[in-house]
Amino acid sequence: MATLRYILKRLLQAIPLLFGISLLSFFLINLAPGDFLAHQRANPQVSDEMLRQLEIDFGMVNPETGEPTTWIWQYGVWVWNISTEGNWGHSFSTRQPVWDVIWTRLLNTLWLSVSALGIGLIIAIPLGIYTAVRQYRWQDMGGSFFAFVGLSIPDVFLALLMLMLAAATGWFPLGGMRSLDFDELTGGQRVLDLLHHVAAPALVLGTALMAGYMRQMRGNLLDVLESDYVRTARAKGLSEGTVVIRHGARNAINPLITMFGYSLSGLLSGSVLVENVMAWPGLGRTVVEALFAKDLYLVVASVMMASVMLIVGNLIADILLAWNDPRIRLE
């Protein structure tokens, strides 16, 4: 019951935050000169009547008075349509409902982010434990060097290196998230095809995450192994593996769970660059394309979806932390 109250409280607190994010996004994109119809006005083949109808359709002109609308008026209409009809507006560039454009791209970004997070955690936690129990040995030095390189290389440069590797070896596909004959494949073959396409961008996106988690796990475990209750466990005659895994790693992993929520922001910001370099059809690529096209509603909706993912990620991290550590209570 306490967990349910906590979740409801956090969700209610997120509502004004999302309003503020959407309002700021509307304001910033309207500060840029011009609008989506600027290049249409410069086209002599587009008539004044067509321009006027487009302005009305996109909410740039009040249909009753014919006067240009302000950005705050457009924002109010947009919020009203969402709250009453669930209508997120129409994309200027694609001429489709914004939600139809975003939903598929959002799922693609979630698939990429979850894959990168899975790669990071699956490799980082065992490697962090391994280097901690071999402190100052060559294994620890090698792990530290790997972490240093992983944290130092920018995502864009690493993505370019991965594209060069894929082109030279053919190990990974160059762009996209499925093969051309995807619809003709069986269920199992489709899963393997999706994993094959996501492997390269997920490795690029998860490298820095993997290095950071590994260093954090190593440092946390070294601190825990020096605590009194670990010495007591060893004095009782427990094996070193039991001491490290059952008594050390479980407590050392708590800060990593806290980092999980914050790492989503890094994944989302990094995915913008990785998706554009590696031609992954995700939300980050959609934001960039919408910004260049000044596609107002598509930009704001994309930013809102990224904010929702970040809020939900932090909420999940807090719940997992309370589940893993009995000393933490959500109330």
Report the distance separating Cα 140 and Cα 146, nearest Å.
Answer: 10
3-state SS, one letter per residue, for 35-85: CCCHHHHCCCCCCHHHHHHHHHHCCCECCCCCCECCHHHHHHHHHHHHHHH
Q: Over its length of 331 residues, how does the chain's per-residue pLDDT go in tens digits?
A: 667 787 788 888 888 888 888 888 888 887 777 666 676 677 677 777 777 777 776 667 777 777 777 788 878 878 888 888 788 877 777 778 888 888 888 888 888 888 888 888 888 888 988 888 888 888 888 888 888 888 888 888 888 888 888 888 888 887 778 887 777 778 788 888 888 888 888 888 888 888 888 888 888 888 888 887 878 877 887 777 777 877 778 778 877 777 776 676 667 666 777 888 888 888 888 888 888 877 878 888 888 888 888 788 778 777 777 776 666 665 5
Pair 66, 56: CB distance under 8 Å: no
**In this structure, is the dihedral angle defined by the CA atoms of residues 309, 315, 318 and 323, taken in order, positive or negative?**
negative
Report the distance separating Cα 256 and Cα 252, nearest Å.
Answer: 8
Pair 82, 88: CB distance under 8 Å: yes
E strand segments, 104-237 = none
Q: How many CA atoms lie within 13 A of 79 on its CB side?
A: 16
**Domain locations in the chain as residue ranges:** 2-85, 98-324
pTM value? Answer: 0.77
Q: How far is C-alpha 122 from the geometric centre of its chain's CA atoms? A: 18
- What are the distances in angstroms from CA 146 to CA 153, 215, 322? 11, 10, 32
pLDDT in tens, 144-163: 888 888 888 888 888 888 88
Provide CATH code, domain 98-324.
Answer: 1.10.3720.10
Report the distance separating Cα 113 and Cα 274, nearest Å.
Answer: 11
